[in-house]
Structure 1
Amino acid sequence: MNGLYWFRHDLRLADNPALVALSKRCNQALMLYVIDPSWFKPNHFQSRHLGRFREEFLYQSLRALEKELKKSKQRLVVKVGNPLEIIPKLCEKHQIDLVATTEHPGFTERQQLGHLSKILPCEVMISESFTLFIKNQISFTKDNFPASFAEFKATISAQNLLPCIPIAKPDSLPPAIDESRDLWGGQEFVYDLTPYHGGEDSGFVQLNQFFWKTQGLKNYKDTRNRFDGWQCSSRLSAWLSNGTLSVRTVAAELDNYEYRYGKSPSTEMMYSELLYREYFQWMMHFHGKNMFAFDGIKKKRPLTSFYCENYKAWEQGTTDCPLVNACMRQLNQTGYMSSKGRQIVARYLVNTLNVDWRFGAAYFEQQLVDFDVATNYGNWQYLSGVSADSEHLLPLDIDKLAREYDPDGSFIAKWAESSPSVSLLRF
């Protein structure tokens, strides 16, 4: 039997049920990743799906995956184009009997798989490993999906749902099917992602660093809202977003940590953050394209009055608000912004500048090294008031937040000294 494995948001060998299943059934296989040129083209909101930081992180991850596959006498075949055109051609050329991949809650990702399942003459096997739980564990539907994270968390707790246990990497992989690959990852990058580095091994290193070596988890509850500092948060979101590290692996490591040291406010907060990510994944699963709608899943149209100058000032970090400017310059020059910073700049864009929230969400999609479609658009809907759980949001007191989270003004001062970021947008 000939197989084709389509890597998407699962760029790893460990905890990859679809890859294990394919390896057991196929005599030879093609390991495929498709780079879609549309990722690099501006959308309706003048931002690209894939910006420079996540692009480099992706290429690093693909190189690391290729290295791991070589250990099993396999190779990664990278194609550039539309996967809905490339995969059927490869299946016909190599007489593929089985296509396997990992399910992802993204609207586009699900549409692509649905289309392939209809047009391919071979079997299409889809496994779940991007989330803590699988469909059989989840009792929600679109009609009764929790309106708030608190309700989601309470339901999960009441039902005593436990995350799926991560599985080991395949014992071996089928021999490679001979197929040429397109040129990829040959760009010379002039920016530094350090200490980020894409790849499965790097993800495990960061997990070990945060949980065990530096004991960052021990003080997580107190440090997670700080604006800067590598050890203030787990920084695992970049590896989780492209699947070089599975969320189930993180949950299992957290369970191991609690077994050794006991539960604490920090470990409980860490698990709550994993559940928060999970909440948005299932929200995307059930609400689909409504996650991108102007009026949101709440069907409430916000009031906006778009001024190009206001938006460009926000995007470049040249507004009247020093804290917003510092956060945006940090994002533009590093690809990272803290969770608290993301909340502040989002609400400033929506509530103070009255800009359509989708411009901000699209810009985050382009800039963030750890962009995750469900988490990004779910959070932006919530902060802009078009999500089901947005009623209680109070007016933003940025001066108070600056005093609370940057009491000595060091964060603002650090980024005030940097040059305003060059706009990536063209109006």
Structure 2
Amino acid sequence: MALALAAAKAAELELIYIFDPRLTEYQQWQSKAIGKHQQRFIEHSLIELNNQLQVFGQHLKVYYGHSEKIIARYLIQNNFAQVHTSVAIGSYEQKLQSKLIKQFGDRIVRTWQHTLFEQNQLPFAIDDIAKTFSSFRKHIEKAKLAISTCCKISHLPPPVSKASFNLLINNSKHGSQSLAHLGGCASGKKHLTDYFGSDAALSYKATRNELDNWQSSTKFSLWLAHGCLSPRQIWHALKAFEKQRGSNESTYWIGFELLWREYFHWLLVKFGNSFFDFAGINDKAPLTSFHGERFQKWCHGSTPYPIINACMKQLKATGYLSNRGRQLVASCLVNELQLDWRYGAAYFQEMLIDYDIASNWGNWQYLAGVGADPRGGRWFNLEKQQQMYDPDERFINHWGGYNEVMPLDSININDWPIS
């Protein structure tokens, strides 16, 4: 939508993407804001985007540097009339946008374009959004809100400069099992078409908790997180499938998951920085802290729990983890390891290709008992979960869950080695 708005107003148009090196530096909770799998996925997406832009006589310019400085240079030195971008909902991104708006005012044009609904459609004020998903969902479903279709681009103004596409691909190996090569709108649209061209949607609710099966869940999140697919595209594809093939509990559940994503995005808008606080949106600090050795064992898959180890090794190798796997490793970090949930959320931010700021931090809060769960958090019985979802240990053995089974601690409370 931001591109369509810019194209409608401009006689000439420069299309840019900025890799900010600060995102690859270690942050507050011992993790980076972006990891290798996500970065490679973005690179593949940008290559494909540039190929699509060439059809319209356009190209993408890629910069490496501080985002706010590069944008300011465009507005000051190159005298561009406006810069169009998405509305940021993350604290870090909001600070950068606020800094630019303070300097350039309405020359910074922001468009809301990452949710199913516009804010003025919601049947309640932002401050009145419920603290439980069930209440939010019931209000939304009762209101029967219209979901607009995506903007189609038929024309783009010519570029200001004739410089060619300049993405410098980082050729460092990210492993043959990584899903990073799937980046791009064409790949996302193909997957959307293939998924709803199969019967998978009709059994989604029954298969979605499988630990390691490509068809068991939609996998839309990979492209959704980077704007290669929009939630509205997915919603309309789902409704077209239901119209043609019929609806059931499984197809409803796909829409249900999109509403969960929607809920977390509006919840982040409402609560802002407290979304990242230790005490969460409920202002209720959990009885956990931080233990460096335990955290490293969790990250590297060398805990006493083979199912957790397998999940963490899969995440590290592929940049992806099933929904059930995410719940299990999060429960383990918070409950068995007694660690600050924010370290886990930040590690997911670095490792997941499909990292979504609202869904990630919202789900971690939910499980840690400081978020939108009226039951006050979740604690999964790992042995029982393994029997339910990996009874033959196929998943554990495939990902080497027994390879590094180690005790939680090598030292006691007095820093003496545990023999």
Q: In the TM superposition, what whole-angstrom CA distance separates every residue of 1:127-169 from its partner, at most 9, and x where no partner exists?
A: 222100011112444532211111110110121123222221x
Given candidates 216, 230, 235, the residue that maps to 1:246 is 230
- Measured against aligned partners, the alpha-carbon deviations of 1:355-392 in whole angstroms (never above 9, x if no partner) come to 11111011100100111111000000111111142535
Q: TM (normalized to structure 1)?
A: 0.90
CA distance in 2, matches of 1:206, 1:104: 27
**2:194 counterpart letter in structure 1:** Q
Once the two structures are TM-superposed, the CA of residue 346 in structure 1 deviates from its matched residue by: 0.4
Partner of 2:409: none
1:186 to partner: Cα distance: 2.3
CA gap of 1:247–1:196, structure 2 versus 1, over 3 A, is: farther
Q: Distance in 1 between matches of 2:113 and 2:366?
A: 26
- Partners of 1:217 and 1:267 within 8 A in 2: yes
Question: Contact 2:367/2:378 (CA < 8 Å) preserved in 1?
Answer: no
- Do the aligned residues in 2 keep the contact of 1:203 with 1:244 (CA within 8 Å)? yes
Task: Identify the residue that residue 187 of structure 1 maps to in structure 2.
Answer: 170
Do the aligned residues in 2 keep the contact of 1:107 with 1:285 (CA within 8 Å)? no
Partner of 1:111: 95
Task: Measure the CA separation in 1 of the matches of 2:51 and 2:21.
Answer: 24
The AA in structure 2 aligned to 1:310 is R
State the Cα deviation string for residues 308-360 of structure 1 (Å, max 9, x = none).
Answer: 22111111111111111111111111111100110111011001111111110
Pick aligned residue for 2:189 from 204, 219, 229: 204
Runs of 5+ consecutive residues of structure 2 not aligned to the other structure = 406-419
Q: CA RMSD in A?
A: 2.0
The aligned counterpart of 1:311 is 295
Q: Is the 8 A contact 2:20 2:64 kept in 1?
A: yes
SS, match of residue 242 in structure 1: coil
Query: How many percent of aligned residue pairs carry the same amino acid?
Result: 35
CA distance in 1, matches of 2:164, 2:34: 21
Counterpart of 1:135 in structure 2: which amino acid? Answer: Q
Which deviates more, 241-250 or 380-389?
380-389
Out of 303-312 and 226-235, give the one that drifted further. Answer: 303-312
Aligned to 1:7: none
TM-score normalised according to structure 2 size:
0.91
Q: 1:121, CA displacement in angstroms?
A: 5.6
1:330 maps to 2:322: no
Give the AA of the match of 1:137.
Q
- Establish whether residue 349 from structure 1 lines up as the match of residue 333 from structure 2: yes
Tell me whether 259-268 or 187-196 shows the greater mean CA deviation.
187-196
Counterpart contact for 1:96–1:122, Cα < 8 Å: no
Asked if 2 retains the 8 angstrom alpha-carbon contact of 1:29 and 1:175, the reply is yes
Partner of 1:131: 115
Q: How far does residue 114 in structure 1 lie from its aligned partner after superposition?
A: 2.9
Name the CA distance, whole Å, in 1 between partners of 2:129 and 2:106: 34
Give the one of 121, 125, 145 matched to 1:161.
145
Q: Name the counterpart of 1:219.
A: 203
Q: Is the 8 A contact 2:88 2:97 kept in 1?
A: no
Structure 1 residue aligned with 2:155: 172
CA distance in 2, matches of 1:98, 1:69: 20
Match of 1:302 in 2: 286
Q: Which runs of 4+ in 1 moved over 6 A?
A: none
- Whether the 8 Å CA contact 1:329–1:420 is kept in 2: the answer is no
Matches within 5 A, 1:15-414: 17-120=1-104, 123-168=107-152, 170-178=153-161, 184-190=167-173, 191-192=175-176, 193-194=178-179, 196-212=181-197, 214-393=198-377, 395-414=379-398
Contact 1:141 1:286 in 2 (8 A): no
Alpha-carbon distance, 1:183 to partner: 5.7
Task: Return the alpha-carbon distance in structure 1 between the equivalents of residues 181 and 219 of structure 2.
Answer: 9
Check conservation: 1:84, 1:116, Cα contact below 8 A: yes
User: In structure 2, what residue type is equivalent to 1:78?
Assistant: V
d(CA) in 2 for partners of 1:304, 1:345:
16
Q: Distance in 2 between matches of 1:417 and 1:324?
A: 7
Structure 1 position 111, deviation (Å): 3.0
Identify the range of structure 1 (20-29 vs 270-279) with the bigger mean alpha-carbon deviation.
20-29
